[in-house]
């Protein structure tokens, strides 16, 4: 790693790499406990606040945001949902989340949570440095880890900290800073991708629809009462150029077809993206005084709506570990951080795998596999026990 000289040096207790929901929420939780932090982000504030990502908040995520004073706009603008719909065999089969578990999910975009967090952090005087570059972490196996970077003006800076939180996502610098020999990597790539579109049109249904169709999976979701989020299962080798607006709408209408009255609301496509489907986990989530959280440590396929919610759980556990370590010198929560988080991560990985394999149609699937899918769907829709298991995992297991 490069060693910078004549740099400007600042001191903090926690250096946080990444201003996504994980890094920002961690900084907020630490601030509530009287712990200082500095956040580094390589993108601009405008980019971070506009970056459209997940939209389903688990019940424990919403409760935590309320507990820490971050849910005023969520409670006003979020869309509580009491069920989801499994669409197959030409019919809808509703999974009554609230009736089965007593809890709900809330649709509220990740970028909206990020806006709320940035506003709250800046109001409290937090240091968030946007548009930084050349971020590197140093000396994480000692008791004085450092982060070096170039600020938005190109000047070299250094942060000296007690601990470093790597919240910079799958493509960030934190995880690659750990020697390969210190990590065990679990990586599973699915044989399909998602084509997602954001549409300026009201949702056609009040709840999410997960459709299993012979042409492939489709998902009907929403962001607001005026904006719909729609997804299509596509081949991973596809490009966005292959999918015209007309082709997208033709495929959506075909996959959401039902024996009854249902019609998608068409409108201008505001955004489109193509996302591969994968599961990825590294163990452990800690190396010395560098702690990984969120997508820097694990990726789940979006079918189970778990990615952002796992990041929230990670930083809740991490904030408690840092509080003990930095305020009382106790190390037990820091030492158990990885194991505590990974128990929830692997539960979410399995649930996401279950939902993905039950709903998607592999291009090379034989009729036997398809009949197994239909059997699982019919059992889930007709068995109270099976439906409760799905609902319990979907709304989110309680945080510790």
Catalytic residues: 81, 210, 302, 306, 394
Count of Cβ atoms closer than 10 Å to residue 221 Cβ = 21
Going from the C-alpha of 10 to that of each of 53, 259, 291, the distances in angstroms are 32, 64, 20
C-alpha to C-alpha distance for 227 and 36, rounded to whole angstroms: 38
Helix/strand/coil percentages in the chain, nearest 5: 40, 25, 35
Provide the 3-class DSSP secondary structure of residue 228.
strand
Q: What is the largest CA-CA distance in the chain?
A: 71
Place of tokens 């929403």: 222
C-alpha to C-alpha distance for 128 and 152, rounded to whole angstroms: 12
Question: By C-alpha distance, which of 308, 299, 252 is closest to 280?
Answer: 299
Residue 68: is it exposed, middle or buried by C-beta count within 10 angstroms (0-12/13-18/19+)?
A: middle
Provide the 3-class DSSP secondary structure of residue 214.
coil
Q: What's the start-to-end Cα distance of the chain, in Å?
A: 38
C-alpha to C-alpha distance for 343 and 351, rounded to whole angstroms: 13
**DSSP notation for 147-208:** EEEE-TTS-EEEEE-SEEEE-S-TTSSTGGGS-GGG-EEEEEEEEEEEEEEEESS--SSSS-
């Amino acid at each position: 790693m490069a060693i910078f000289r004549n740099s400007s040096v600042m001191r903090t207790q926690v250096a946080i790499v990444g201003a996504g929901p994980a890094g920002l929420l961690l900084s907020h939780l630490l601030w509530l406990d009287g712990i200082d932090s500095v956040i580094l982000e390589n993108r601009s504030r405008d980019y971070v606040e506009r970056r459209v990502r997940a939209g389903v908040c688990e019940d424990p995520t919403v409760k935590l945001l309320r507990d820490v004073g971050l849910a005023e706009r969520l409670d006003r603008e979020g869309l509580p949902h009491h069920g989801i719909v499994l669409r197959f065999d030409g019919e809808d089969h509703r999974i009554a989340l609230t009736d089965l578990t007593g809890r709900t999910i809330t649709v509220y975009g990740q970028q909206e949570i990020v806006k709320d967090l940035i506003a709250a952090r800046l109001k409290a005087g937090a240091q968030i440095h946007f548009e930084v570059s050349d971020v590197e972490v140093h000396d994480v196996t000692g008791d004085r880890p450092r982060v070096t970077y170039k600020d938005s003006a190109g000047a070299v800076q250094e942060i000296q900290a007690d601990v470093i939180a790597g919240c910079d996502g799958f493509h960030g610098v934190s995880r690659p800073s750990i020697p390969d020999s210190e990590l065990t990597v679990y990586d599973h790539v699915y044989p399909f991708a998602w084509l997602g579109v954001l549409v300026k049109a009201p949702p056609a249904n009040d709840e999410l629809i997960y459709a299993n169709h012979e042409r492939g999976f489709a998902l009907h979701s929403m962001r607001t009462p005026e904006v719909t989020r729609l997804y299509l299962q596509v081949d991973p080798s596809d490009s966005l150029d292959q999918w015209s607006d007309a082709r997208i709408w033709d495929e959506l209408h075909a996959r959401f077809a039902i024996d009854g009255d249902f019609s998608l609301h068409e409108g201008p496509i505001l955004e489109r993206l193509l996302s591969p489907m994968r599961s990825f986990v590294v163990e452990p989530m800690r190396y010395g005084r560098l702690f990984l959280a969120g997508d820097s440590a694990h990726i789940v396929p979006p079918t189970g709506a778990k990615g952002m919610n796992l990041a929230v759980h990670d930083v809740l556990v991490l904030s408690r570990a840092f509080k003990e370590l930095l305020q009382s010198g106790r190390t037990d929560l820091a030492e158990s951080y990885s194991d505590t988080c990974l128990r929830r991560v692997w539960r979410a990985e399995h649930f996401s795998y279950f939902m993905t394999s039950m709903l998607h149609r592999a291009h090379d699937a034989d009729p036997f596999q398809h009949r197994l899918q239909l059997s699982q769907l019919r059992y889930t829709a007709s068995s109270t026990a099976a439906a409760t298991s799905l609902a319990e995992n979907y709304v989110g297991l309680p945080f510790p």
